[in-house]
Structure 1
Amino acid sequence: MEMRLRARVRAGDPEAFRELFDEHARSVYNHAFRLMGDWSAAEDAVSLTFLEAWRLRDRVDPDGGSLRPWLLGITSNIARNLRRAARRHDGALARMPRGQAVPDFADELTSRIDDRARLARVRAALAALRAPEREVLALCVWAGLDYAEAAEALGVPVGTVRSRLSRARRKLGRLVAAGKLQPLPADREPQAGHGQEDGDRENAVRSAQEDTR
């Protein structure tokens, strides 16, 4: 079924894209939210991801497994661009004369998230890493991709995924040992994508978390 879906996506079948959205929109949103820490920006990233997927549909190989790694790779690029735009926007605001203070509703919104402590730990861990390490950790640990799928998502060799994940593991391990960071939660996406190799995925998760316990 997934191979047929790939061919239909490549052909620009609108119904195939609806199926793709229904199956992977939640995973795309979760990945974007972890990278950006902002629910509104994550919602924008979902829309932009599927618009970009439509634009790039002719690059889809009709043969292969799940399209989830491809979508998450697009999301990673979009999140990177949105963060750059946000930094430019914040910089422009900082240069403007200060006006009347505007109430901050962030705490009110955050209070609606069921597990605030878990979210804070995830965001603190990701903030301690460089962007390439952050993306690999988010893909391999929380999105549940194996090394090969993460490499496909990011357009890098498998060895690069392993080395980035190893660097992330060492950094997080040092922070936990120094008492500056709590161990990471081990939760993943509600459903794993099709065609994943459980052994590789579990190795990736262990390598990112074994020194943070």
Structure 2
Amino acid sequence: MSSETARDEDRFRRAYAEDFESLLAFALRRVAHAEDAADVVAETFLVAWRRRQDIPVAGEARLWLYGVARRVLANHHRGGVRRQRLGERLRQQIVDSVPDPGSEVPERLAVRAALAGLPELDREVLMLTVWEGLQPHEVAAVLGVGPAAVRTRLSRARAKLRGLVGDDPGPPGHVLDVLTASTRRED
């Protein structure tokens, strides 16, 4: 190792030992979280290590490190603003593309209560058709009855369900709309 390299490394070690606490206090006063201050100080000393030959001598190192730390803080704050904007855009995309699961809770509870009010076979025919996506001939095979009986029971179950929850099924595709829609004849 050359004497110049050794001198640069020694200058870095002295600056670190003498100025670490001052830089940490400097950073803590300028960021919201202590872990961010630690990151700023670490980045500052990383820059100082890379540029150790530029660290001034004779007590000027602290001022030079403050200048480096100010630039690191500026990058940190810009990055925080970018992360915040990105987070806002992502949250908006989620709001736009994913419906609030809580918005249908009251209707779902009403449907469950109404389903509980149906006779067991009517409820099972309705649930197998709507929630399991089975066709009347498939429901008939599961229940061991004829497809005509399934269609009749399904029609009755939907009418009873409409009577229990009201005639307004909600917007298209809504849980009540799906449960009370008439069945296509596919068997």
Asked if Structure 1 and Structure 2 have the same fold, meaning a TM-score greater than 0.5 normalized by the shorter chain, the answer is no
Name the one with the larger helix percent: 2
Specify the TM-score bucket, using the shorter chain as the normaliser.
0.3 to 0.5
> Which structure would you say has the larger Rg?
2
